[in-house]
Amino acid sequence: MHEIFQKRKSTRGFIPKKIEKEKLDEILEAAHSAPSAGNLKAREILAVADERTRERLAKAAFGQDFVAEAPLVLVFLALPKVSAQKYGERGRDLYAIQDATIAASFAWLQAVDLGLSGCWVGAFDEEEMRNILNLDDEKRPVAILPIGYAD
């Protein structure tokens, strides 16, 4: 097994050091390189650094405070309609979610390789998340990934 898999573990405490732009770029590049059904890339990734928004995201994640403590929160959105155009119900209910979550996995592993840590957060109020991020019905938030330097 590659050492990156041993290094990766869920981290829920971060020091207040910001993430360098080059590192964020590499993480996003890795995420966008992930495969997708029919290569449709039925996903979108938002990078949230704004403190007030991170605090709101932490609240929407049922008070998981480490979400706000991390200097950066990546939000992975599935685009069900994009996949449904080609794959119907299966695209809408399954492939779009998989397109988004495999990108989250790639992002997390790339972050670890850059000396960063994170935690996959799936427990959040979806409607509240939609409100905070101004998402319409075509975008479904499926996972958030707070990342930063581990405390």
Ligand X SMILES: Cc1cc2nc3c(=O)[nH]c(=O)nc-3n(C[C@H](O)[C@H](O)[C@H](O)COP(=O)(O)O)c2cc1C
In the complex, which residues of this chain contact ligand X (CB under 6 A)?
A: 9-10, 12, 64, 119-123
Distance CA 109, CA 117 (A): 9
| Shortest distance (Å) from residue 7 CB to ligand X | 11
- Shortest CB 122 distance to ligand X, Å: 3
Rank residues 10 and 33 by Cβ distance to ligand X and give the closer one: 10
CB of 9 to ligand X, least distance (A): 4
Q: Using the minimum distance from each CB to ligand X, give the nearer residue, 12 or 38.
A: 12
Q: Toward ligand X, which CB reaches closer, 38 or 55?
A: 55
Q: Which is nearer to ligand X, 64 or 83 (CB)?
A: 64
Q: How far apart are CA 80 and CA 69, in angstroms?
A: 30
Question: In the bound complex, which residue of the shown chain has the CB atom lying closest to ligand X?
Answer: 122
Encoded tokens for 143: 């996972």
For residue 63, the number of C-alpha atoms closer than 13 Å in the C-beta half-sphere is 0
Q: For residue 77, what are the β-bridge partners?
A: 44, 141
Q: Residue 84 in contact with residue 92, Cβ under 8 Å? A: yes
